[in-house]
Structure 1
Amino acid sequence: MSKLDVTVEHTREEAGGRYWATLDPDHEAEMTYRWVSEGVMSIDHTLTPPKYEGRGVALQLVEASIKDAREQGFTIIPRCPYVAVQFRRHPEWGDLLAR
C-alpha cells in the first residue's frame, strides 16, 4: 500500500488532548495524550482504522507531536506501544524522551 498523506489536527486541553486526522467522512485516526507534569506529555493511545493501517498515518500523528515537542520544549513518555516502537526506530528523537 502506498503512503497516505494526511492533515494532522491538534486539540489541546488543560489535562491532555489529541492529534487526529480525518481519513474519509466516516473514519479518523487519532493519538491521545495527557500531561503528567509541567512539560511532560504521556502519549497513551494511537488508533488507525484497519482499512488505513500500514499507510503511515499513525507515524504522521507521532511526527506532529515530535515537531510540537521541539518547538514548545516539552518531553514525551511513549506509553502507547506503537509510539514506543517509533522512538526506538528514530534514535534522533531520544532527546525528547522524558527521563
Structure 2
Amino acid sequence: MSYLVEDDPAKRRFEILVDDALAGFTAYRPRGEALVFTHTEVDERYRGMGVGEALVRGTLDQLRERGDRLVPKCPFVAAFIRRHPEYANLVVAES
C-alpha cells in the first residue's frame, strides 16, 4: 500500500490517499495563527490498517515543515499527539 497525505485548503482538510483512493481526512478550520482540527474520519474499508495514524503523522509533519501550529480539538488527533510527544511543540493553547 502506498500513502499520500495532502492538504485540500478548499475543503479545509488534509486527505490521505491509499493507492490513489481517498481513504480518510482530518478536518480543520483556520483560527488566527493556528489550525483547529475538529474531526478525523477513515473509510471503514481502511480501518485497523494504520491509515488514521499515517494521516495524522503526515498532517503534523507538513504543519511542522510549513511552520504552522494547531489546536487538537479532534480526540483522535489529540490522542496521537499524547502518544507521540515529539509533536507537542506544534500545539497552541486554546484561547
Given the two structures, how large is their TM-score scaled by the length of structure 1?
A: 0.79
Aligned to 1:75: 69
Per-residue Cα deviation, 1:13-53 (whole angstroms, up to 9, x for no partner): 4xx71111234787531111111112x01111111112211
Please provide the CA RMSD for this pair: 2.1
Structure 1: 5+ residue stretches without partners:
none
Within 5 Å, give how 1:52-71 maps onto structure 2: 52-71=46-65
What is the identity percentage for the equivalent residue pairs of Structure 1 and Structure 2?
31
Task: Tell me which residue corresponds to 2:82.
Answer: 88
- Aligned twin of 2:14: 19
Aligned to 1:28: 23
Q: Deviations over 1:49-86 (max 9, x none)?
A: 12211111111221122112211111111111111110
Distance 1:36 1:61 in 2: 21
Which stretches of structure 1, 4 residues or more, deviate above 6 A after TM superposition?
Answer: none
Name the aligned partner's letter for residue 54 of structure 1: G
Question: How many residue pairs align between the two structures?
Answer: 93
- The answer to whether the Cα contact below 8 Å between 1:20 and 1:61 also exists between their aligned partners in 2 is yes
Question: 1:88: how far off?
Answer: 0.5
Between structure 1 and structure 2, the one with the greater Rg is 1
- Output the TM-score relative to the length of structure 2: 0.82
